[in-house]
Structure 1
Amino acid sequence: MSEDFYSVLGVDRDASEEDIKRAYREKASEYHPDVSDDPNAEEKFKRIQEAKEVLLDDEKRRMYDQMGHERFQQADKRGATEGGGAGGMGGGPFGGGGAGGMNDIFEQFFGGGGGGRSGPQQGADLKTRLTVDLEDAYEGVTKQLTVARPERCPDCDGKGHPPEADARTCSACNGRGQQRTVRQTPLGRVQQTQTCQQCEGEGTVYSETCSTCRGDGQVRNEATLQVEVPAGIQSGQTLRMDGEGAPGEDGGRNGDLLVEIEVEDSEAFERNGDDLRYRMPISFPQAAFGDTVEVPTLDGAVEMDVPAGTQSGETFRLRNKGMPHLQRRGHGDLYVKVQVVTPESLNEEQREALEAFAEAGGEEIDVEQGFFEKLKNSF
């Protein structure tokens, strides 16, 4: 039994598209025949490419998971032979070419599924992306989103023909919506059931097609929607808007709209999950003597005590001042990293005071070098 495609790439069966792409790049760079010393590099490289082509195609991957590796490989080879393809996915039953196709596979392995329409069909889900800033992600916000999507044709109500069009039974399939053929294959006679192309599985043809949608039953329009973005959302998370996707067929419900959220980086805060980080500049006297400083947060400024003797780079934790937890109570924390700022210039009074401070501590002052330059070098 040959190694399955998940093992070829070294990923789990629930691996995401990004996981698969990343694994493919690593494996391909390792076994590319031009750079690899492995004697079987060429064969391994072909297997890696084949695995990527199947697992990155939603339909092929679904069939692969249902059928298993061996049956999928058999079906692919059979489709390439019957369809005159060159092997692989391009000319086989999953590449859309030749005499194979999805109908063959359903008929041969699952006992059908390539026939005419069988009642209401749910519409496809659609995907889009929405960008919000960190403040919106903190508070939660309602955003307007404009998407171009297919919609049911208003003139024919999605039927593809005017209401007054004459209907007649399809002569190609005699009203069944399906066409059956019997083919001789290396494994014997195979009967296929396919959707009738003339009536598209309806069993009925019409004298006219809708001029608005040209018989498709759908038109493409822009829709403006209100999106409720919850507080605490993070980049990469997806909101599902029920029924806002592509229209269904034969009375089926609409698909959903999937909105992937991207939270913009903030100039002031760095986000890590529900925690935030902030750099707080303080002066040397504040660090030496201690002070109470105002720290900005996404919920307004708060006071923070800086103890005497604080060193540059020390971090203080302000509890519950970070991002809200998504769909649960509480907040993350805000981590404040203090940075002692050295002034670029001093007046005469400041210089004399600091020179006296240094001399009191036994420091020798090089006036040309400057006290603060010496102070920086001592840290």
Structure 2
Amino acid sequence: MADHYEVLGVSRDASQDEIKKAYRRLARQLHPDVNPGEDAAEKFKLVTHAYDVLSDEDSRRRYDMGGDANGGFGAGGFGGFGDIFETFFGAGSGARNARPRSRRERGQDALVRVNLDLGDVVFGTHRDIEVDTAVLCETCQGSCCQPGTSPVTCDVCGGSGHVQRQVRSLLGNVVTSQPCGTCEGFGTTIPNPCVSCGAQGRVRSRRTVSLDIPAGVETGLRLQLPGSGEIGRAGGPHGDLYVEVTVAPHPVYSREGDDLLATLEVSMTDAILGTSTTIDGLDGKVELDIRPGVQSGDVLTIDGRGITPLRGSQRGDLRVGVQVVTPTKLDSAQRALIEDFAKKTKAPAPKLSQFQPGLFSKLRDRFRSH
């Protein structure tokens, strides 16, 4: 007879906890339900017998003193085996008292995408969104049965949703439980399924969802509408609807946080003398005063004409970068005037300075510094 300690792979002074852990590990590997080989079955019997002897203090003491290798089957050993078997293989009162699962399930979440213009983002907007998803079957109202009929108790599992089978072990017949294959664990069958939904309790349909899109959204943001997704099987609760936003690029304006950015082309004479102009903002006309001597790269800021933030009420700013446009084609009279102006102003000669990466980079840096 093999040494019980060697069978379990523990030392002779191992604690009860170490013995129990060793048995748990070996039982998981060798049980006939997991490992059907004949060799594994024999090893499982040896492991179980070793554990039964060593898990009881009296039988272990007799075994250590050279007594009968069969030891004694104390209450501790037998009870320990039952606890472990229930943990690993689903036996015991928990399996016997298992309930059938419900046909009603929560519906899946749905995702739709909506395209917006930058102008829609300033104050928010409203959209009616078409959603193709599952809705309640009007024929059966989620019962999954033809009108006038109902589910019947499964004659295989008796309505429990589970069937039991016996497994022979060293300790006798052990009962395990698994879902009933006839009713799929529901405990009932549907002899007269609804022809409209195929016993699903729901059908595919297109419906309209009204959505108020808040100001300040940006590309990639997802808005959640709880309970607006598809309905669950057998009339189960709705899932959620997620709306993913895409904001189309604007031909003039770009966005930085809650601020709007644009570039204003100013003639050389207006840059020298200054002027006033009106531009089209995303929410109406905007008056701009251009001071005399304005330079390319200067930024004009109009407070509160940007985007309303997603969380808050204080709008961002409209920031306009100036680009002075130098004329490239002059007639003789215009050229004469410019030459006369140059002589009278005595402008300094061109001077070498540090490399500038360009107007747009300069504007970007100015934008960020404001």
For the aligned pair, the TM-score class normalised by the smaller chain equals 0.5 to 0.7
3-state SS in 1 of match to 2:284: coil
Which residue does the alignment assign to 2:219?
235
Q: 2:89 & 2:114 partners in 1: Cα distance? A: 38
Q: CA separation of 1:183/1:140 partners in 2, compared to 1, >3 Å: closer, same or farther?
A: farther
Which residue does the alignment assign to 1:337?
321
CA drift at 1:335: 1.4
The structure, 1 or 2, with the larger RCO (C-alpha pairs under 8 Å, 6+ apart) is 2
Q: 1:161 & 1:256 partners in 2: Cα distance? A: 26
Q: Deviations over 1:294-352 (max 9, x none)?
A: 23322222222222222112222221111012242110111111101123422333222
Structure 1 residues 1-379: aligned runs within 5 Å: 116-118=100-102, 121-165=105-149, 167-179=151-163, 194-249=178-233, 252-362=236-346
Q: Which has the larger radius of gyration?
A: 2
CA drift at 1:364: 11
CA drift at 1:190: 11
Q: Deviations over 1:145-195 (max 9, x none)?
A: 1111011221121222203346432133221123456889xxxx9987554
3-state SS in 1 of match to 2:281: coil
Which residue does the alignment assign to 1:74?
none
Structure 2: gaps spanning 5 or more residues: 1-28, 36-86, 350-358, 360-370
3-state SS in 2 of match to 1:356: helix
Q: 2:348 & 2:187 partners in 1: Cα distance? A: 101
Q: If the length of structure 1 is used for normalisation, what is the TM-score?
A: 0.60
Residues paired across the two proteins, number: 265
Q: 1:192 & 1:340 partners in 2: Cα distance? A: 86
Q: 2:181 & 2:342 partners in 1: Cα distance? A: 93
CA drift at 1:223: 1.1
Q: 1:315 & 1:285 partners in 2: Cα distance? A: 18
Q: 1:319 & 1:105 partners in 2: Cα distance? A: 69
Q: CA separation of 1:161/1:351 partners in 2, compared to 1, >3 Å: closer, same or farther?
A: same
Which residue does the alignment assign to 2:12?
none
Once the two structures are overlaid, the 10-residue window that deviates more, 235-244 or 262-271, is: 235-244
Q: CA separation of 1:201/1:250 partners in 2, compared to 1, >3 Å: closer, same or farther?
A: farther
Q: 1:123 & 1:272 partners in 2: Cα distance? A: 39
Question: Are 2:100 and 2:159, in contact at CA under 8 Å, matched by a contact in 1?
Answer: no
Q: Deviations over 1:219-275 (max 9, x none)?
A: 111112222112222222222223221213555431221111111111111112211
Question: Are 1:116 and 1:196, in contact at CA under 8 Å, matched by a contact in 2?
Answer: no
Root-mean-square deviation (Å) = 3.9
Q: Deviations over 1:28-57 (max 9, x none)?
A: xxxxxxxxxxxxxxxxxxxxxxxxxxxxxx
Q: 1:295 & 1:179 partners in 2: Cα distance? A: 77
Q: 1:192 & 1:135 partners in 2: Cα distance? A: 65
Q: If the length of structure 2 is used for normalisation, what is the TM-score?
A: 0.61
Q: 2:181 & 2:257 partners in 1: Cα distance? A: 52
Q: CA separation of 1:249/1:311 partners in 2, compared to 1, >3 Å: closer, same or farther?
A: same
Letter in 2 for 1:231: A
CA drift at 1:129: 1.1
Q: CA separation of 1:217/1:353 partners in 2, compared to 1, >3 Å: closer, same or farther?
A: same
Give the fraction of aligned pairs with identical amino acids, expressed as a percent.
33
Q: 2:88 & 2:333 partners in 1: Cα distance? A: 89
